[in-house]
Amino acid sequence: MAMTLSAKDLENISKLAYLNEDSEHSAKLTQEVSAIMDFVDQLKTIDTSQVAPLFHPLALNQRLRPDEITEAECLAELEAMAPLFEDNLYLVPKVISSDK
């Protein structure tokens, strides 16, 4: 049940995707998009009824460390690199103003 792509469909897709449409590339683009749609049709025919739904194909768990407040060991190095540093904070110029 392959879906065919018309020139009008391609024009609409190009407009929605902000693509510059020219006749030189439209035939190739039509062919490539049709090939992608044919591949999707092939994927639809695969029997997945015996496959359990997964959020991720690999059964991996993310190892998280305990959430503990710690002091940075390299604070002196960071302070030396920063042009303005006060009370363990980087001071940066104001970039957003409330002027209307």
pLDDT at 2 over 70: no
Residue closest to 4 by CA, chosen among 33, 39, 40: 33
CATH fold of 7-44, please?
Histone, subunit A (1.10.20)
Instruction: Give the percent of the chain with pLDDT over 90.
Output: 12
Report the greatest alpha carbon distance in the chain. Answer: 67
List the domain boundaries for the chain: 7-44
H or E element, residue 4:
none
With H, G, I as helix, E, B as strand and everything else as coil, classify residue 85: strand
pTM for this model (two decimals): 0.46
pLDDT at 45: 94
